Chains A and B, each alone.
Chain A
Amino acid sequence: MSHLHIPDGILPGWLIMSGWLLTALILAFSIYRTKSTELKRKIPLIGIISALMIVCMTIPIVPIAYHINLSVIAGIILGPAVAFISIFIVDLIIAMFGHGGITVVGLNTVVVGAEAFIGFYLFQLFMIIIGRDSIMWSSGLAAVIALIISTSILVGVVYMSQVNPEIVIGIEGDNPTEVTNEGNIPDQLIKGINIKSFAKTILILLGIGWLLEGIITAFIIKYVSRVRPDLLFPQRT
């Protein structure tokens, strides 16, 4: 889980707009790339993977506030371009359930999309290095590393949220704490997030989750490779 469960109105507007813009650009590229392949044939697969992600995302593991994403599985099965489309659909639908803000959908898609992208390429790499017989290790390791990287992106996004250009304009003299709230940002963000404590808490909370998701991904991929290998090894976008 590297979802931004941040409500609407907390992150600065420029960051939210950047997320939407980046998502629109990647979506346009993904659709452009996918058009050459059998896009129509992939729609049922997009539907079922997205639905599976939704079902899994809505089951929280309460003590550590974690939920599995299956985004790496989406990346491995759909390929990074189609997985990005699937992740956008998932984020849009779960935002309608109030699971994270609707304005944060763009940023969420970028962060979770990165997970699928990294997971896909790492899986391919590990399949070459470790070999096709160790599909469990390849997928599990790819999932854990992709989750670590995407969580780092999440921490980066939250860190960026406190360097709002509008706030920087308000800094007077040498005292960086005396700032004016010209950007309609909650005061706690103006005083700054303690990024170290944020990163520490996130990493401790999510560490167990990464391992769990890595194991689950490995077993799912192993199962699918036995039953429907054509889903894992077709020509991907």
Chain B
Amino acid sequence: MDVAIIDYYANHGTSFLHKAKALWKIMFSALVIASIILTNEFYMLAGIYIALVTIAIWTKLPVSRIITIAAYPAIFALIFAFLVWNGSWVKVGVVVLKALAAALTMVLLIVTTPYPDVFNVLRPFLPRVIAEGLLVTYRSVFILLELTDELMKGLKVRGGLTRRKYLRNIKNFSSGIGLLLVKGFDYSEKFYGMMNIRGYGERIAAKDTKMSINRNDLLAILIGLLIFAIVITTVIDKRFLEFSIYIVACSILALVASAIYKQFVS
């Protein structure tokens, strides 16, 4: 998982989701996650996943990269699915699709929203130490990534990581992490000190925290509501599940149309 790439995507995108406010995107994510939790139907989950891939196309970001980032939990979901194996491949599919769709929902949120904006929405619900901790952690991840890059180069150049010397490699690697910890702590302490000197007052500055709603926000929330409404309908009245195959077909159509549009028009 490349945190730096995700941060770049979040800050440099131009899609409607990038332009929508963090609050509404979080609500969109909450609605989709609630839909994923509520349904246990393979076709419904497949429909949601395909719809999310379609939205990923609309973000104008590298779709394969986003899908790959969001595919990581599938490894663990597969292990879990086979541990609870009851002879049904559909059930394995349900567990894996739940993991993939939920992960893609969260990844769509973070590749289109800078972290400080997400934290700013969460801030009123969190104690100060956690809110500040989130911000400092976010900043520290980038400090560490830079230091890790330098460290790995240094270790390789000086022969710290060599073939078949497993124990020595582990020792050097661990010492490297220790070094990262110490260096990172020094950097982080300086960063926090500077933040306070420059007038940091327990609040992260975000682009726009108003409750106003523009068409991008509206589109995001409408998509979330549409997915939720379809799922809740099938949960309340199981007869509607007969139409789930059509929902998948519609999702596929939207996906193909979006892919063609992206390929030839934009």
Contact = CB atoms under 8 A, between A and B. Distances in A.
Contacts of A86: 133
Contacts of A47: 133, 135-137, 139-140, 188, 192
B178 A5 contact: no
Given A43-B132, A44-B189, A224-B182, A50 B69 contact: no
A89 B129 CA distance: 10
B75 interface: yes
Given A44-B136, A231-B185, A186 B180 contact: no
Contacts of B98: 7-10
B33 A103 contact: yes
Contacts of A186: 40, 91, 94-95
B170 A50 contact: no
B189 to A, nearest CB: 4
B257 interface: no
Nearest to A95: B106
Contact of B76 (A31, A65, A90, A102): A65
Contacts of B170: 212, 215-216, 219
Contact of A184 (B94, B127, B235): B235
B37 A187 contact: no
A46 B136 contact: yes
A114 to B, nearest CB: 19
Contacts of A221: 178
Interface in B222-256: 235
Contacts of B33: 8, 102-103
B77 A44 contact: no
A52 B177 contact: yes
A203 interface: no
Interface string B64-76: 0000011011011
Nearest to A98: B103
Contacts of B180: 52
Contact of A220 (B88, B143, B178): B178
Contact of A34 (B37, B129, B178): B129
Nearest to B105: A98
A51 interface: yes
A40 to B, nearest CB: 9
A5 B83 CA distance: 13
Contacts of B88: 187-188
A87 B91 CA distance: 32
B171 A48 contact: no
A208 interface: no
Contact of B106 (A46, A62, A98): A98
A45 B184 CA distance: 9
A191 B95 contact: no
A58 B73 CA distance: 11
A47 B106 CA distance: 22
A223 B104 contact: no
Contacts of A215: 170, 174
Given A48-B185, A188-B85, A220 B177 contact: yes
B83 A198 contact: yes
Contacts of B235: 184
B83 A201 contact: yes
A85 interface: yes
A44 to B, nearest CB: 4
Given A9-B37, A50-B140, 19 more contacts: A7-B80, A9-B38, A34-B129, A47-B192, A48-B184, A51-B143, A85-B133, A88-B130, A97-B1, A98-B105, A98-B107, A205-B79, A216-B174, A219-B170, A220-B175, A220-B178, A223-B174, A227-B179, A231-B181
In order of increasing CB-CB distance, the 7 nearest A-B pairs are A98-B103, A47-B136, A223-B178, A5-B76, A219-B174, A51-B140, A7-B99
Interface of A: 5-10, 27, 31, 34, 39, 43-52, 54-56, 58, 60, 62, 65, 70, 73, 77, 85-86, 88-90, 92-93, 95-103, 184-189, 191, 193-194, 197-198, 201, 205, 212, 215-224, 227-228, 231
Interface of B: 1, 3, 6, 33, 36-40, 69-70, 72-73, 75-77, 79-81, 83-86, 88, 91, 94-95, 98-99, 102-107, 109-110, 118, 127, 129-130, 132-141, 143-145, 148, 170-171, 173-175, 177-182, 184-185, 187-189, 191-192, 235
26 contacts: A7-B95, A7-B102, A8-B98, A9-B36, A9-B98, A44-B192, A47-B139, A48-B188, A49-B181, A62-B75, A89-B134, A96-B109, A100-B76, A103-B37, A185-B40, A186-B91, A188-B91, A189-B84, A201-B83, A215-B174, A219-B171, A219-B175, A221-B178, A223-B174, A224-B178, A231-B185
